[in-house]
Amino acid sequence: MASAIRREQGLARTLTAGQQAMVAIGGAIGTGLFLGSGLSVGVAGPAVVVSYLIAAGIASLLAVALTEMAVAHPTAGSFGVYAGMYVSPFAGYAVRISYWLMQVIATGGHLVAVSIYMQFWFPGVPAALWILAFSIALVYLNTRPVSLFGSFEYWLSLVKVVAIAFFVVLGLALMLRPQGDPAIGFHNLRAHDGFAPFGGTGIWLGACLAIYSFIGVEIVGITSGEAVDPERTIPRAMRRMILILCLVYLVAVTVLVGIVPWTLIGISESPFVMVLRRTGIPAAASVMNAVVLVAALSSANACLYLIARALFSLARAGFVPAVLGATSAQAIPVNALLVSSAGLAGAVLVRAFWPDTAYMWFFAVSLFGALFVWLMIFVTHLAFRRHHARQGPAVLPVRRPFSRLASLAGACGVAAILATAWWVPGMRFTVLAGPPWLLALAVGYWYSPGSAPPVLPGSSQQGVEA
C-alpha cells in the first residue's frame, strides 16, 4: 500500500453499504432539487427534464470512475489522494483544498436554505438565528461516533426519498385524476411556448444548473475510508445511489413542471412547496416544507462530514497543521470538524447582510469548486487506468468495461458545462471565481510544506506517471 494511503489510516470502518449510499443521497438530494430546481426550470422550461437527464448521465460516468479507484484505494482522502498519486502532488493538493472549500460554502448554502424554509412558519424570526441554532446541533452530531452519524443520516435520507415518492404519486393523481375538475394531464408540458421554449440552448443551460443536484455522488468515495468491507460495499453503494438519484430526480421534476406552469416557478420558496400549496390540500404545503427542511439539514449534515474528512486528509498529507489530522477516542477528526465549521459562521453573516442574494451566491461559488473536482476525478481516473494497464488486468479488484472512454466523455461534459456557465443567468460568478481560486491554490501550494510525491502501487518510481 502506498504511503499516501497509509497516512490516512485511523478512522473507524463501521459504515455499511446502505449507510454509504444514504449518506451520499443525503448529500445530493437537498437544496439542489428542492430549491435550485427553480433555477433550472427558469432557463429550460418543461424541457428541464432533458437537462436533468444530461446531468444524470455525467453523474453516472463519474460513479463508474470513482468506483474503480475507491475499491482499489479505500481512504477518506479519496479522489484527492488519487490525484496526488496518479497526476501530481499539486493536483492532489488542489483537489482536496477545492473540495474542502466547495463543501464549506455548500454547507453554508444549505443552511441559508434552511432559514428560507423556517420563515414559512416563523416569518418574524431573524433568519441568521436559525442558521446559528441548526449549526450548533449539526456540529455536535458530527462529533459522535460515525456509526451513529451513519444511522442518523440514513433515516433523514429515507424521509426525503419517501416524501418525494409521495409527492410523485400525489402529483400524478392530480395530473390524471379521472373525476371532479378537469385533469391537468400533460397540458403544462406543452403550454407557454411549448416543451422547449428556449430550444437546445435552454436545455443545455438547464443542465449546467441541474448538475448541482447531483453533486454528492462522489461522497461514496470519501466514505470508503470508513466502510466495513470496501470491495463489496462501495460498488453496491454506488449502484444504489445512482439508481435512486436518477429515478427520483427525473420523475420528480417531470411531475413538478407537469402540475404547475413553468413560468410560475422560482426560488422565493421551494417549487415543491408551491405545488402543494396550489393543490388546496389542507396542511400539504406545511408538510412538504418540513420535508424540504429535513432535506436541507441532511445535506448540511453530510457536508459537515465531508469537510472534516477533507481537512483531515490535507493534514495527514502535511499541507495544513498536523493537529487537524488528529482523531478523538471515537476515531472522529474533531479538530478538522471544528475548523471547517467556519463556513457556518460565514453563512450567518452572508444571510444577515445579503438576504436576497445569499443562496444564489453560495450556489454559484460552490458549483465551480464541485465542477473542478469532478473534472479532476475524470482526469485522475484516466491516469489511474493508464498506470494499471501497464501492471496487468489482474491488478484492479474492480474493472468496468469502457470505463476509460466513459471518463473521457465525462471530462468533456464537465469542461463544456464550465465553459458555458457564463451564459447561465446568475452563474457568471461561477466562471469569474475560477481563475482567482486556481491562482490562490498555486500560491498556497508553493508555501505549503506539503509531502513527498507518493509511490505508485506496483512501481518504484516517484511522482507523476504520464
Tell me: pLDDT of 461 over 50: no
Grid coordinates belonging to 154: 440514513
Report CA-CA distances (Å) from 287 to 213, 237, 292.
Answer: 22, 29, 9
Mean pLDDT: which of 11-20, 89-98, 426-435 is highest? 89-98
- Domains, the chain, ordered by start: 15-447 (1.20.1740.10)
* Matching residue, cell 502535511: 318
pLDDT digits 0-9 by tens, 4-27? 555 555 555 556 666 666 666 666
Q: What is the DSSP string of 223-272?
A: HGGGBSSHHHHHHHHHHHHHHHHHHHHHHHHHHHHHHS-GGG--SSS-HH
Mean pLDDT confidence for 369-393:
86
Mean pLDDT confidence for 355-371:
70
Report CA-CA distances (Å) from 356 to 127, 217, 361, 431.
Answer: 12, 29, 10, 21
Mean pLDDT confidence for 144-164:
77
More confident residue, 32 or 232: 232
Cα–Cα nearest to 310, from 106, 466, 79: 79
Q: Is 318 helix (H, G, I), strand (E, B) or coil?
A: coil
Mean pLDDT: which of 52-61, 343-352, 384-393 is highest? 52-61
Dist CA 78 CA 75 (whole Å): 5
Q: What is the DSSP string of 49-88?
A: HHHHHHHHHHHHHHHHHHHHHHHHS--TTHHHHHHHHHT-
CB 407 within 8 A of CB 378: yes
Report CA-CA distances (Å) from 13 to 76, 205, 233.
Answer: 11, 40, 12
pLDDT digits 0-9 by tens, 244-274? 888 888 888 888 888 878 887 765 566 777 7
pLDDT digits 0-9 by tens, 30-66? 656 666 677 788 888 899 999 999 999 999 999 889 8
> pLDDT confidence of 409, banded at 50, 70, 90?
very high
Dist CA 384 CA 464 (whole Å): 11
> Across the chain, what does the average pLDDT equal?
77
Mean pLDDT confidence for 296-320:
81
Grid coordinates belonging to 185: 394531464
Mean pLDDT confidence for 425-448:
78
**R_g over Cα of the chain:** 22
Total residue length of the chain: 466
Cα–Cα nearest to 221, from 77, 416, 432, 58: 77
The pLDDT of residue 227:
62
Grid coordinates belonging to 119: 420563515
CA 95 to chain centre: 15
> DSSP H helical segments within 280-341, as ranges?
284-316, 334-340
Q: Which residue pairs, CB below 8 angstroms and at least 24 apart, start in 440-443?
A: 441/93, 441/94, 441/97, 441/98, 442/90
Mean pLDDT confidence for 105-110:
77
> pLDDT confidence of 350, banded at 50, 70, 90?
low
The pLDDT of residue 119:
84
Tell me: pLDDT of 239 over 90: no
CB 31 within 8 A of CB 302: no
